[in-house]
Amino acid sequence: MIDVGKAFGIRRNEVGPASLLFFYLFLIIGAYIMGQAVGNALFLEVFPKHLPYAMIGSAVMIGGFVSVYIRLSHRLRRVGRLRTTR
């Protein structure tokens, strides 16, 4: 049998919490992917020809938010930024 702790460099008392964290993240990512597929299907039902425009608009908006965040992060202290992004 494979020893998970040795394979991933996890101490014996950390195997339980690490396993719970792994399954939690697995379920969160799975739910996100399924939600994305359902959202695309529902959007295509109502606006069949506009999905590419919605994806491009989403990418442009995310780019704008990231740009603003980067500019603000250079102006703010690191400690304050860590408090607001938790």
Burial 67-80 (b: 16+ CB within 10 A, else e): eeeeeeeeeeeeee
Q: What is the pLDDT of residues 48-72, one digit of tens each?
A: 899 889 989 999 999 999 999 888 8
How far apart (Å, rounded) are the C-alpha atoms in residues 47 and 53? 10
Confidence of residue 77 (pLDDT cuts 50, 70, 90): low
Residues 6+ apart with CB under 8 A from 19: 4
Confidence of residue 36 (pLDDT cuts 50, 70, 90): very high
How far apart (Å, rounded) are the C-alpha atoms in residues 33 and 39? 10
What is the reported pTM?
0.58
32 vs 14, which has greater pLDDT? 32
pLDDT of residue 33: 97
